[in-house]
Amino acid sequence: MIPVLILLHLLSAVIWVGGMFFAYIILRPVAAAHLEPPIRLQLWVGNFQRFFFWVWIAIIILISSGYWMITLYGGMAAIGKHIHIMQALAWLMIAIYMYVYFQPYRHLRIAVDAQNYPEGAIQLAKIRQAIAINLTLGIVIIAVASVGRYLL
């Protein structure tokens, strides 16, 4: 059971953090260099719609598999400090994601539907900042999860 839970947990983290890496580091600069603002904003709305669907699934799997593994390992008292750190940072990532999803992403969709591209650009900038934070947190979590037991 543990190997399946670890696999699901890792795949979910890869989808979420890898998707943010691709969007922020690769897609964003190319879209900014080659697409006019209306097309660029429409591209982002479409990408976020698909990506955020998968992030919701990843979050559900991460929470479920993480707490299931903690239970199988003997509960909160039995796990290492690195797991507690990973858990705290993951909840921060989830809170930031929920802010993005329910605030600037919602307003971005409304602005693009209304062809209010200046407002859409403001909302996209908010999303970009939040993704930069979450990408950093995701990378830190990966580091803590992979080597934390040896350092803490």
Closest CA to 117 of 45, 48, 56, 58: 45
- Tell me if 47 sits within 8 A of 110, measured CB to CB: no
Per-residue pLDDT tens digits of the chain, which is 152 residues long: 899 999 999 999 999 999 999 999 999 999 999 999 999 999 999 999 999 999 999 999 999 999 999 999 999 999 999 999 999 999 999 999 999 999 999 999 999 999 999 999 999 999 999 999 999 999 999 999 999 999 87
pLDDT of residue 23: 97
pLDDT of residue 70: 97
Alpha helices, DSSP H, located in the chain: 2-21, 28-34, 37-72, 81-102, 104-113, 117-151
CA distances to 100, 111, 131, 132 from 25, rounded to whole Å, are 18, 24, 11, 10
Closest CA to 111 of 123, 103, 102: 123
pTM for this predicted structure: 0.95
Cα(81)–Cα(145) distance, integer angstroms: 10
pLDDT of residue 9: 98
pLDDT of residue 96: 98
pLDDT of residue 101: 98
pLDDT of residue 152: 78
116 three-state secondary structure? coil
Cα(84)–Cα(65) distance, integer angstroms: 15
pLDDT of residue 110: 98
pLDDT of residue 85: 97
**Cα dihedral sign, 16-17-18-19:** positive
Cα(20)–Cα(48) distance, integer angstroms: 10
